[in-house]
Structures are given as structure tokens and as C-alpha cells.
Amino acid sequence: MRVAIGCDHAGFELKQEIIRLLKSLGHEPQDVGAHDTQPSDYPDYVKDVAEAVRTKKSDMGIFICGTGIGPTMAANKIKGIRAALCHDTFSAHSSREHNDANVLCLGARVIGFGLAGDIVKTWLSAPFTGEERHSRRIAKLMALEQKDV
């Protein structure tokens, strides 16, 4: 699976660990930056992760910053993106199974590598159920992108 992965300065070290994990699992990480711990602005890199997913250059996306909150907000402003902030495996699994999330956001200052690795593995392996009730809800969610509420 091709996985676009990005971070800001606060997520750089965890991103490097997740890239190693992705490779060990047989996935193809596509690193969009940041490439060091110098202060950077997460929207710049979130845009690149989301665009890779939206245009199908990547199958899924992962973004890491200090808390994961800002990137989740930013990614969900991009048409076609369903980003989920997950700090536990139950939420990771549910975000895929029920919401067909295509971008995972993580907070490096909230969780450590061990838990982050478990979350990533859970998220990537959980399938969308495709059940009618979940599909109906996602269709309504995506319809909100078309409206100026």
C-alpha cells in the first residue's frame, strides 16, 4: 500500500519511526516532509498528504504533529478527505470500519512510538465494512462539502 506521510517539526522523530514500521510491513511510504526538526507550519505538509490521497497517488495518508488536532482540522477542509485523530486502537479501527477514514492523524506529544505503531498497524489493516448505514452516513458527510452551511 502506498502511504503518504508527513509531519511538522514536532512530529519529525515519530514520523521517522513510522516510516521504518511501514517499510517493515511491506508498505511504500511517500514522505512529503518536514525533513527536520526546524519549526514548520503543519498546513503546508497536510496539504501535500491530503492531495496525494485525493488524487490517488497514495492509497492512505498519515500526518504527525505535536497533538494531531490542527492537522485533522486542516485535512478535513480538503475535498474528499476524511481525517481521523486517533490516540488509541479502538478509535483507529472504528475510523476505518465505520467512517472509511483515509488520513490518520497522530500526536507525537500525546502518544509514544509503541502505541503509535499499534495504532498505525490497526488503522491500515482495518477494512471499511461497507454496511449500508455507514455508507449512507459517509455520503451525507461528503455532501456537506458541497454546501455553504
- Domain ranges across the chain: 2-146
pLDDT number for residue 148: 66
Mean pLDDT for the stretch of residues 27-45: 97
Average pLDDT over residues 48-77: 98
Q: What is the pTM of this model?
A: 0.96
When pLDDT is cut at 50, 70 and 90, the band that residue 149 belongs to is: low
**Rounded average pLDDT over 7-27:** 98
CA distances from residue 100 to 10, 84, 127 in whole angstroms, order as listed = 27, 10, 8
**Active site residues per annotation:** 65, 98
- Who wins on pLDDT, 111 or 145? 111
Is a pLDDT exceeding 80 seen at residue 74? yes
Q: Give the residue among 130, 78, 122, 129 at the shortest CA–CA distance from 104.
A: 122
Q: What architecture (CATH level 2) is domain 2-146?
A: 3-Layer(aba) Sandwich (3.40)
pLDDT for res 147? 75
